[in-house]
Amino acid sequence: MKRLVIKDRKKFNRFLVMGFISLTIALYLMITLVFSNKVIGVSDNRNFTVIHGDTVWNIASGIKSDKDIREVVHDIYTINGMSSGETIYPGQVLRIPVYE
């Protein structure tokens, strides 16, 4: 069996580090795509176009659910990849949870 000989240790180490970083980024992206915007108890989403004067709280209050309105607001932010308290704008299309 032939033995592998490393001629340039610096290049080999750089290759290992870059490979590890690339695999880490690829794994992170795959996990993010698989688990992003998943909210427990939500069976589907529908689109809602924001109009002047709308707030996430007002939109959440119009959704039929047994959940507390604060949880519905949190679900809307989560499904849309927004941080809590982020401003919404007229014309913006939000995904709204449809609960089972």
**CATH number of the domain encompassing residue 61:** 3.10.350.10
Range of the domain at 72: 42-99
Task: Determine what percent of the chain is predicted with pLDDT higher than 90.
Answer: 54
pLDDT band, very low/low/confident/very high, at 85 (cuts 50, 70, 90): confident
Closest CA to 88 of 64, 60, 46: 60
If asked whether residues 46 and 91 sit together in one domain, one would say: yes
In a domain, 75, yes or no: yes
If asked whether residues 16 and 46 sit together in one domain, one would say: no
Helices assigned H by DSSP within the chain: 9-35, 56-61, 69-79
In a domain, 1, yes or no: no
The pTM of the whole model exceeds 0.75 = no
Closest CA to 79 of 56, 53, 54, 55: 56
- Distance of alpha carbon 71 from alpha carbon 13, whole angstroms: 48
If asked whether residues 18 and 63 sit together in one domain, one would say: no
Closest CA to 42 of 22, 23, 67: 67
If asked whether residues 67 and 47 sit together in one domain, one would say: yes
Please tell me the total count of domains within the chain. 2
β 93-99/42-49 pair status: antiparallel
Q: Per-residue pLDDT tens for 15-45?
A: 999 999 999 999 988 877 666 655 555 667 8
